Amino acid sequence: MDMITVAIRKPEDVNIIVGQAHFIKTVEDLYEALISASPSMKFGLAFCESSGACKVRVEGNEQELKDLASQNALEVAAGHTFIVMMRDGFPINVLNAVKGLSEVCSVFAATANQLEIVLADNGRGRGILGVIDGAKPQGIENEEDIAWRKDLLRKLGYKR
């Protein structure tokens, strides 16, 4: 068995959710959950079918993000993996809707950071072992850092 990493390709302004589900209807259910949770968000999603035709199934409301999600999903090539690429919205706005789907088994990442998927490949298929999300911590926050964090959350409207 080989262990490999695949870097997710995405523009700076795109957020991503990576997870695993268990059924072909995932692609349509994810579409419905995303559009219902945030109708103004632009997104593309791809789902790696792991039996039958083993196709990458694709949905979304913006072609560029559909293409980006499907290209990344094909490169990751891990069974039952889904990738959501989004603009004009954040994972925090849709994550509960995604996790609430009966076929979603787990969510590995929800981030705007550079992301690498850590995979095991046994020659027959691939599985996600984990993710590398962003960079390593550079230390523990000080008072200035705490003030910046609190100010940012209020500017974004997440805290009062």
* CA dist 6 → 116, 126, 148 (Å): 5, 12, 33
Cα 136 from Cα 134, distance rounded (Å) = 7
Instruction: Write out the chain's pLDDT in tens, 160 residues.
Output: 999 999 999 999 999 999 999 988 999 999 999 999 998 999 999 999 999 999 999 999 999 999 999 999 999 999 999 999 999 999 999 999 999 999 999 999 999 999 999 999 999 999 999 999 999 999 999 999 999 999 999 998 888 8
Q: Which domain holds residue 18?
A: 2-155
124 is a domain residue: yes
13 is a domain residue: yes
160 is a domain residue: no
Cα 120 from Cα 117, distance rounded (Å) = 10
149 is a domain residue: yes
Is the pTM above the cut of 0.75? yes
| Total domains in the fold of the chain | 1
Cα 59 from Cα 119, distance rounded (Å) = 24
The predicted pLDDT at position 157 comes to: 87
The predicted pLDDT at position 86 comes to: 98
76 is a domain residue: yes
CATH of the domain at 71: 3.40.1520.10
31 is a domain residue: yes
Residue 10 sits at the vertex; the CA angle it makes with 18 and 134, to the nearest 5 degrees, is 65
Answer for the pair 62, 85: CB distance below 8 angstroms, yes or no.
no
The predicted pLDDT at position 60 comes to: 97
β-bridge partners, 126: 121
Cα 127 from Cα 141, distance rounded (Å) = 35
The predicted pLDDT at position 146 comes to: 95
